Amino acid sequence: MATVEPQPPGVTGAEPGRPTAELFAEVQQSAEFGELRRAHRSFAFPLTIGFVAWYLLYVLLSSYADGFMGTRLFGNINVALVLGLGQFLTTFLIAWLYSRHAATRLDPKGAAIKSRMEGHS
């Protein structure tokens, strides 16, 4: 007895109301999807480059400028400790900024594309 393998969604014969592979390809080429991709990249790439540069500066200073990094600011608090804690602060700040950016600019555009794809029969 032969068995028929179920077809995954997105191929010919998929469930009604489910986007097809052709529709995904069409949406990927659309100006609206390009705008969504640009909105993400124009925010994420500069922040990523900036954070990596800031992190590498911290690592390089820790490795090669131990005199500067060991400078006491007050009590037992030195420059290295302040900059190290700054790394954590920067990480949380970037995460918060990205969540705001995604909620205001990316999510509405993505939801609009998704609803149009799901409504396409």
Low-confidence winner among 21-25, 65-69, 101-105, 108-112 (lowest mean pLDDT): 21-25
pLDDT at 81 over 90: yes
* Sequence letter at residue 38: R
pLDDT digits (tens, 9 = 90+) for 35-77: 999 999 999 999 999 999 999 999 999 999 999 999 999 999 9
- Answer whether residue 31 shows pLDDT above 50: yes
HEC string of 54-96 equals HHHHHHHHHHHCHHHHCCEEECCEEHHHHHHHHHHHHHHHHHH
Q: What's the pTM value of the predicted model, to 2 decimals?
A: 0.72
